Chain A
Amino acid sequence: MNNKRTKWKITYLRYLFQAVVIIALVYLALGFGRRTFEAYCPFGGVEALYGLFTTGNYTCALSEANLAMFIGLIALVVLSKKSFCSWICPVGAIGELLNRVGFRIRHKKQLIGPKADRVLRWLRYPVLLIVLYFTYKIEDLIFRGYDPFYLIFSGFGHGSLGMASIVIMASILLASLLISLPFCRYLCPLGAIQGFLAWVGIAKIYRDEGTCIDCGLCDRACPQLIPVSTKNNMRHIDCTNCLECVEVCPVKNCLEVKVF
């Protein structure tokens, strides 16, 4: 059996990471610090690419920090899948928190079946294409009005769409109570970009079929709703290496992080 010390080390360490990131972003959003909170969004690096190639400048409020974060993110995805999403991204952290609350409200039921879930996950790709098309065409950060990250930390600031942004934000928050991580799994354009590389993910979780007792705890623990107990390794593009499944597994060394 797993001992409790490991749970303390990793699960709580992840919560600590998420809390530190949120505190740092609030600090920057309040005007302290040299850069704005927006400078640390890796999606800004993707939005900046077209402007860099065509005019040699960063679009709107984007800067070298966004591009550096995006390059770092790509390196991270190749090495450790979508770990940015579960360890760093504040939208993921807030979504996870709401999901924990909602899990009790909806009596531990998943409101979207596996088939619909698989289809909805494809929505991220048209969202990505639409956002990039209009960002590149208009040379402005059009996603600001829809982006929970920007709307939360800017306090519906410059670039938000007034009532429309409030409705969008409220819908995402409400949906996060009813469905596990709806924005991350169905709409996030940064998630779509990572998806292209996440299957490479050198460090991933492996399941030992021989020792697995098919208790299903890992399936229920996964915030991305990946059926962990049916897979021998988490090559799944949405695995974020949050290690929740590893933590809840009652069999020692059944679920482990391995490279290659």
Chain B
Amino acid sequence: MFKIPKIFIPILLVVIIFVAVKSSSLLALPSAEYDNPSLTSGAKLSGIEMIVKGVKCRGTSNFFISRLKDSGGIASIKAFAGENRCVIKYDPQQTNPERIKELVEAPYFQAETNQWIEGIFAVTSSKMLQE
């Protein structure tokens, strides 16, 4: 049993919190995902990673996927709600990043209220993924 300086406690706190925050990406799992088997096998695919404001839980992740999956040319979608991050693989012969962004940000018709709802999702940044 030996004495330690009191400053040891705040230093330990800072180190542990820093390591936890920095290493959290190692534990990342998609909050929702979609695969289109007819496209994921064989076709040459491109990928885009988008930060989407509005993808904040499993429910909104599923909704995000439902908005894109039937639009044609989408091979797979992975939504990571914790970081508002979405990774989309697509067939460049059938769609493109501009079209995907348009679909994400388009207003949708809410049947319960009989109204068009705008601004559910907003793409704040995006980058193309290297094959």
Contacts and interface: CB of A to CB of B under 8 A. Distances in A.
Contact of A75 (B16, B58, B80, B81): B16
Contacts of A57: 29-32, 58
B4 A10 contact: no
B29 A80 contact: no
A64 B58 contact: no
Interface string A154-168: 000000000000000
A69 B20 contact: yes
Contact of B10 (A17, A40, A52, A65): A17
Nearest to A64: B27
B29 A203 contact: no
A231 interface: no
B129 interface: no
Interface in B1-41: 1-10, 12-13, 16-17, 19-21, 23-32
A17 B58 CA distance: 32
B72 interface: no
A63 B80 contact: yes
A145 to B, nearest CB: 16
Nearest to A260: B1
A257 B82 contact: no
B101 interface: no
Contact of B83 (A9, A35, A52, A257): A35
B59 interface: yes
A71 interface: yes
Contacts, number: 118
B13 A17 contact: yes
B58 A59 contact: yes
Nearest to A256: B3
B3 A64 contact: no
A71 B13 contact: no
A34 interface: yes
B13 A84 contact: yes
B6 A6 contact: yes
A68 B9 contact: no
A91 interface: no
Contacts of B6: 6, 9-10, 243, 246, 257
B27 A68 contact: yes
B82 A39 contact: yes
Given A39-B82, A258-B1, A76 B12 contact: yes
A41 interface: no
A17 B51 CA distance: 30
A93 to B, nearest CB: 14
A220 interface: no
Contact of A80 (B1, B12, B32, B81): B12
Interface of B: 1-10, 12-13, 16-17, 19-21, 23-32, 51, 56-59, 80-84
12 contacts: A10-B6, A58-B81, A58-B82, A59-B58, A63-B81, A64-B26, A64-B29, A68-B21, A79-B16, A83-B9, A257-B3, A257-B4
Given A52-B29, A58-B58, 4 more contacts: A57-B58, A63-B24, A69-B20, A256-B3
Interface of A: 6, 9-10, 13-14, 17, 34-36, 39-40, 52, 56-69, 71-72, 75-76, 79-80, 83-84, 87-88, 203, 206, 241, 243, 246, 256-260
